Amino acid sequence: MSAAIPAAELEALRCPVCNARCRPDPVCSRCGVDQGPWRAVLVKAWELRTEGWRVLLGGDASRAAELAKQSLRLHGTGSARALGWVAAATISPAPSDGA
């Protein structure tokens, strides 16, 4: 996977081991832990919510809600929660059969 965490999001992250600010290098400059596997999960979550916003803008709120749920399972971000809320509010109620 060649995707990387966007710089703005990376700057907000802290090493899960020592709480040092994350740098572009996946090896923590303070404790030396390899953050690569952890970052791969964060990238997947970012891809899922990015795709979620894209499909929501395309009109598929149900798919966007599912992508938000999948993203939240990996990384609980405000963006993923917002996607889930907006998608849920956008989903049309099931059509009534008129009975």
What does the DSSP 8-state code read for residue 82? Answer: H
CB-nearer residue toward Zn ion: 21 or 73: 21
| Residue in 28, 43, 48, 65 binding Zn ion, rule: CB under 5 A | 28
Q: Among 3, 18, 82, 91, which residue sits at the site for Zn ion (rule: CB under 5 A)?
A: 18
Of 58-87, binders to Zn ion (CB under 5 A) are none
Q: How far is the CB of 10 from Zn ion (least distance, A)?
A: 14
Whether residue 11 contacts residue 22, with contact meaning beta carbons closer than 8 Å, is answered with yes
Residue 19 or 88 having the CB closest to Zn ion: 19
Closest CA to 86 of 67, 66, 69, 61: 61
Residue with tokens 């795709």: 51
* 3-state secondary structure at position 25: coil
Q: Say whether 75 sits in a helix, a strand or coil.
A: coil
Cβ count near 1 (within 10 Å)? 7
User: Smallest distance, Å, CB 85 to Zn ion?
Assistant: 33
Interface size with Zn ion, residues (CB under 5 A): 7
Q: Could you list the residues that contact Zn ion (CB under 5 A)? A: 15, 17-18, 20, 28, 30-31
